[in-house]
A = this chain, B = another copy of it.
Amino acid sequence: MPENPETLPIIRTVSELRAVVRGWRLQGLSVGLVPTMGALHAGHLTLVEEAKRRADRVVTSVFVNPTQFAAHEDLGTYPRQEAQDAALLTAAGGAVMFAPTVAEMYPAGFVTSVAVGDAARGGPSQGLEGEFRPAMFGGVAVVVSKLLNQVQADVAVFGEKDWQQLMVVRRMAADLDIPTEIVGSPTLRDDHGLALSSRNAYLSEAELAVARKLNVILRQAADQAAAKRPLAAVERDAYGAILKAGFDRVDYVVIRHADDLTPFAEGVVTGPARILVAAAIGRTRLIDNMAV
């Protein structure tokens, strides 16, 4: 029960969560899930809205999942603001917030891992973020399979901002026959087109001005790719433009098949395509993507 009767209930344990969901099921209500790492912004709230359009009750999980961070990454400093998250979810019409502890999610003796492909078989976890953050998709696959099994929702909504993650989750849910529909929801952008991200909070004013140029460069590159310009040239020019805009490092900027993220063997776009980027300003690493 909430301490403040005006905010939604915050649930800490899987057994309490299941009891709440069971109660909804007995009333014939459908259930949606929005998995997040908290530090909620307007982008997350569009996911809650999408889930509300598709289900009667929406569970939003807030869990900064340690297994998807590498040792050198920002697990310790990742923004945590639970009271504000609860207030935002209440305003957005969320039914409950599920904020388990690490011990609740990974009790002593936990040893299971889930991989959505590997070097030999390929799969959506290979390359791009999977190359630069090798721990991440294994961690995502485990925590999302757990959340899906805990909630047993009709539908789970994920942001298209993490496009590769969405493809990984969709593949995993299909492969393991998890009966929850996986839905992607479009990226929300600020007035300058910058994709909303919890990590934008790390940016100084000067860095923010640089970050806002990224979406413009992506849009231009996507338009060139759609016009059948050779992808090697499009990617090379985008790479240079991102550095010239003031980014300090580009991990990748590539145009790939939209679903399985494999390259176009033909060297030009021949079907549904996505441009994906990861680039850093100072110590902040941003990702973005767009349909071509």
Contacts and interface: CB of A to CB of B under 8 A. Distances in A.
Interface of A: 14, 18, 109-118, 121-124, 141-142, 145-146, 149-150, 152, 171-172, 175-179, 260
Q: At the interface, is chain A mostly helix, strand, loop or mixed?
A: mixed
A143 B149 CA distance: 16
A175 B117 contact: no
Q: What copy number does this chain have within its complex? A: 2
B176 A145 contact: yes
A110 B179 contact: no
A231 to B, nearest CB: 23
Nearest to A147: B177
A113 B109 contact: no
A109 B171 contact: yes
A237 B175 CA distance: 46
Contacts of A145: 176
Contacts of A260: 109
Given A146-B177, A176-B146, A177-B150, A116 B121 contact: no
B179 A18 contact: yes
Nearest to A145: B176
A286 B116 CA distance: 33
A171 B116 CA distance: 20
A232 B199 CA distance: 56
Contacts of A118: 111, 113
B115 A121 contact: no
